[in-house]
């Protein structure tokens, strides 16, 4: 190899490294992207092309219990505070100023993005705070079967928000569901509704409804968390305010299937099976190569066994707290720019996890 050829290779390599995105601790540290015309294909989508964000899901997406409560004197705890949803801080759809959330990361590149939820209010029964919730259709307690109702809310609400060009704006819809399905899997009257097959059918039906009714949409399917790992981690933790009697633990009361080793095993199996169903939905649309719609899938195999207990809210040591939502927002965001084959398969907690800054050449990976 001649010296001239070697210098050429080194120069090209240097340019490639200069173009590579950087990682920061706050999205404000990311440089802006060069403006360009709106793409004609969902497979050419940059984050600054996203004008609308929405979400479907359960209490995690609804932001239930994100901020901890003061348990130093239980007699002073306002019970109304226990049932609040901090939707503005939800990792996948919150838009509270300064919050570490996917919509706020998008907003850094696209200031006109809309659809994100703000504020805090008592847990809802039926999307009764539309002005704050915006396109956060999630409901605390929801299971996959409830996604059809949530999509109906989304379809009605997206047409009523001022400033949305329904036909032409590119939209990202984040979906995460499954924790309540797993938790109810030991209930004899409910278990037949939470099989992997039915779970997959419910999610796929919701995705198909979005495809048929919302133009220019990218559905971001987020895998289920293996919540069975939470209970050994949080058992008898003073942070959680639990007693040593497992039946009195708040998170066991919320997730009764976790009360036995057999139940925990069943939940683990369901988490794996649910994620296979979600991945199959992604593969179906990845093969179709539609220009106006696609589905992407983000891995979410969080190794909870090694997580700090304050990843969770001390309200119940089941729902993610503010530390949990902030960290998950980075995990999901960073994956958006990696093809499926390069996404991490297991995630261990990193206190100082960083945020990837996409560059002009980065696209939301659809392969």
Give the closest residue to 256 by CA, choosing from 341, 190, 173, 164.
Answer: 190
Report mean pLDDT in 10-residue bins for the chain, 367 residues: 44 40 96 96 98 98 90 62 90 98 98 97 79 94 97 96 96 98 94 96 98 98 97 90 60 93 97 98 95 98 96 94 98 98 96 97 97
Is 264 among the domain residues? yes
Decide if 13 is inside a domain.
no
The total of structural domains in the chain comes to 1
pLDDT at 263 (0 to 100): 97
333 falls within a domain: yes
Domain that holds residue 47: 39-58+142-356
Cα separations (Å) of 148 from 37, 39, 52, 144, 195?
Answer: 34, 30, 20, 8, 17
Q: How far apart are CA 216 and CA 294, in angstroms?
A: 9
User: What whole-number distance in Å separates Cα of residue 24 and Cα of residue 19?
Assistant: 16
The answer for residues whose C-beta is within 8 angstroms of residue 6's C-beta and 6 or more apart is none
HSE value, Cβ hemisphere, 13 Å, CA-based, for 345: 2
Measured between alpha carbons, how far is 319 from 308 in angstroms, rounded to an integer? Answer: 13
Q: Is 74 part of a structural domain of the chain?
A: no
**Within-domain flag for 28:** no
CB 311 within 8 A of CB 319: no
Backbone angles phi, psi at 338, to 5 degrees: -115, 135
Q: In this structure, is residue 243 part of a structural domain?
A: yes
The CATH code of the domain that includes 228 is 3.40.50
Residue 274 domain-assigned (yes or no): yes
Assessment of whether the complete model's pTM goes beyond 0.85: yes
The pLDDT, as a whole number, for residue 174 is 98
What pLDDT does 351 receive? 93
Contact 130, 142 (CB under 8 A): no
Q: Indicate the SS3 state at residue 336.
A: coil
What does the alpha-carbon distance between residue 81 and residue 79 come to, in Å, rounded to a whole number? 5
Establish if 260 belongs to a structural domain.
yes
pLDDT value of residue 82:
76
């Amino acid at each position: 190899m001649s010296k001239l050829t070697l210098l050429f290779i080194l120069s090209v390599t240097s340019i490639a490294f200069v173009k590579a995105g950087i990682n920061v601790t706050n999205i404000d540290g990311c440089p802006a992207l060069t403006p360009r015309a709106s793409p004609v294909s969902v497979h050419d989508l940059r984050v600054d092309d996203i004008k609308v964000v929405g979400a479907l899901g359960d209490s995690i997406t609804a932001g239930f219990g994100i901020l901890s409560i003061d348990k130093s004197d239980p007699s002073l705890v306002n019970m109304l505070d226990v049932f609040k949803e901090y939707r503005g801080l939800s990792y996948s759809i919150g838009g509270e100023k300064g919050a570490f959330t996917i919509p706020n990361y998008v907003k850094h590149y696209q200031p006109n993005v809309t659809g994100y939820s703000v504020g805090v209010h008592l847990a809802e029964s039926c999307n009764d705070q539309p002005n704050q919730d915006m396109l956060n259709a999630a409901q605390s307690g929801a299971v996959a079967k409830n996604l059809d109702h949530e999509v109906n809310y989304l379809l009605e609400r997206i047409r009523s928000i001022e400033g949305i060009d329904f036909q032409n704006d590119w939209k990202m819809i984040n979906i995460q569901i499954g924790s309540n399905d797993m938790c109810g899997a030991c209930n004899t009257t409910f278990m037949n509704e939470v099989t992997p097959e039915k779970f997959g059918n419910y999610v796929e039906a919701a995705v198909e409804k979005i495809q048929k009714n919302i133009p220019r949409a990218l559905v971001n399917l987020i895998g289920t968390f293996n919540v069975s790992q939470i209970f050994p981690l949080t058992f008898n933790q003073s942070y959680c305010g639990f007693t040593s009697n497992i039946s009195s633990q708040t998170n066991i009361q919320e997730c009764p299937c976790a009360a036995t080793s057999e139940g925990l095993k069943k939940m683990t199996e369901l988490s794996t099976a649910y994620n296979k169903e979600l991945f199959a939905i992604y593969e179906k649309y990845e093969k179709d190569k539609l220009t106006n719609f696609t589905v992407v899938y983000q891995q979410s195999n969080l190794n909870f066994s090694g997580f700090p207990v304050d990843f969770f809210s001390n309200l119940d040591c089941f729902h993610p707290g503010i530390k949990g939502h902030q960290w998950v927002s980075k995990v999901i965001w960073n994956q958006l720019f990696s093809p499926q084959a390069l996404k991490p398969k297991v995630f261990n907690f990193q206190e100082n996890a960083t945020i990837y800054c996409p560059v002009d050449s980065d696209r939301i990976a659809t392969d």
